[in-house]
Amino acid sequence: MSFNKDFIWGSATSSYQIEGAPFEDGKGLSVWDTFCEVPGVIKGNHNGNIACEHYHRYKEDVALMKELGLQAYRFSITWPRVMPDGIGKVNEKGLDFYDRLVDELLEKGITPYVTLFHWDYPYELYKKGGWLNNDSPEWFAEYTKVVVDRLSDRVQYWFTQNEPQCYINLGHCDGTHAPGLKLGVRDVLQCTHNSLLAHGKSVATIREFSKLKSFVGAAPVGICYIPKTETPADIEAARKATFAVNDTRIWNSAWFMDPMFLGEYPEDGLKLFEKYLPKIGANDMKIINQDLDFFGCNIYSSPYVNSGLNGEPEFTAQKVGADLTANKWELTPRGLYWGPKFFYERYKKPIIITENGLSNVDWVNLDGKVHDPQRIDLMHRYINEFNRAIKDGVDGRGYFAWSLMDNFEWAEGYNERFGLIHVDFETEKRTIKDSGYWFKQVIETQGKILE
């Protein structure tokens, strides 16, 4: 069961979910700062103003990462902390924070994996139209260069964007996430195209200006489907469902990933969206289709399908009494087999699981410890399935647990706990959970304890 000696084990966070300090040291507003000011949009009217106080407690947190034995840490940078207006003036104090964080990680032997955008879009650019503005790809490239100029003498691993399906659909279609818009299909497609162009320009900027050899990818939602049975017909139905574009909400993989990796939008999507498509420039697809070093994907819960009429995917209803996490996501470990397998077949890039984990019912027990056997069991099952995919030929390079610590969970506020480390949000006390110590053993044995 052991993994290749070069396989990377880490954990991940995002800036707005942990940093706090939204108004300190010259930081500008993000759309999440302003969205959380709207009564009722976040459970309990919570916000990320304090969160985990990581901005002030990063040294303590890096020490905990070292105690967990993490080899790598994926974190995101707050765009308006670095550039308060999104473009133009650079906030040196904001950059200094990430300077110090990177240095602290390297001092502790932990490799930094930087995500440039994890949803906290600059509010000043949102007022100019945000992703609807055709200048937004240039804005993102300008921001990328500022970060690369400062950090690339020590950082080699980069992700341009995290989960575009979420910040586009939940933020611009459903309105349940920042900036809280409910746009029509035409505008959502324009936002998507501009965010893809931003990704491409960001990759090109990293390649051009990085001081060290760079390794670049993205971290989309790995939306995938699991065959109900491992028969050829059901496997093909699951593969087809994974890459189908058949809903104007564009909650899928191919509309976002095919342009990045194949340089074209999928044919079924072009037909579906024909009358809504934005103007696509002559060089747009070339800009989007930059050469990437790996395929990052966040996978949690995946639906089942079987082969129906004429081999078309038929979605299997969730079984009565299904195994569910605290936030009601079904336990589906085989998603970490079939997702990487399908994505590797189609895009032919090494796979990194950039997020995986669960929301659990965790608290500090009378003995002062946090016992979370469900998290251990879930991660054990999912990692085993990823290992099975690797043994069946998938080039799997790493696994990042979500999340390093309990944090602000977007529209759910502080009502969901995903961390390997428990956080008491009144005192900010950190307590490593049983799962954290278990994950440390996984890392130390390079997965051998999973046998």
- Residue 238 tokens read as 């699951």
Q: How many CB atoms lie within 10 A of CB 216?
A: 22
As a dihedral over the C-alpha atoms of residue 158, residue 160, residue 163, residue 167, rounded to 10 degrees, the angle is 140
Helix residue ranges per DSSP H, 245-358: 254-262, 267-272, 284-288, 335-347
355 is annotated as an active-site residue: yes
Active-site pick, 355, 385, 409, 416: 355
Q: Are 417 and 34 in contact (CB under 8 A)?
A: no
Take residue 109 and report the two structure tokens written for it: 């032997």
163 assigned to active site: yes
- CA dihedral in degrees (198, 25, 158, 422; nearest 10)? -120
* 110-143: b (≥16 Cβ within 10 Å) or e: bbbbbbbbbbbbbbbbbeeebbbbeebbebbbbb
Q: Which neighbouring-strand residues pair with 353?
A: 297, 399
Q: How many Å apart are CA 22 and CA 54, to the nearest integer?
A: 11
Instruction: Name the pairing type of β-strands 215-219 and 157-162.
Output: parallel
- How far apart are the C-alpha atoms of 190 and 138, rounded to whole Å? 15
Cα–Cα nearest to 300, from 247, 339, 351, 358? 358
- Cβ contact 172:181 at 8 Å: yes
Beta bridge partners of 162: 219
Catalytic residue among 19, 104, 142, 163: 163
As a whole number of angstroms, the distance between CA 145 and CA 46 comes to 33
Full DSSP string of 14-55: -HHHH---TTSTTPPPBHHHHHTTSTTSSGGG--SSSTT-HH
How many contiguous H segments (helices) and E segments (strands) does the chain have? Answer: 16, 13
The C-alpha atoms of residue 379 and residue 213 are separated, in whole angstroms, by 32
Whole-number Å distance between alpha carbons of 399 and 112 = 14
With CA atoms as reference, report the closest residue to 357 among 337, 377, 385: 377
Backbone dihedral angles phi then psi of residue 215, each to the nearest 5 degrees: -125, 120
Active site residues: 163, 355
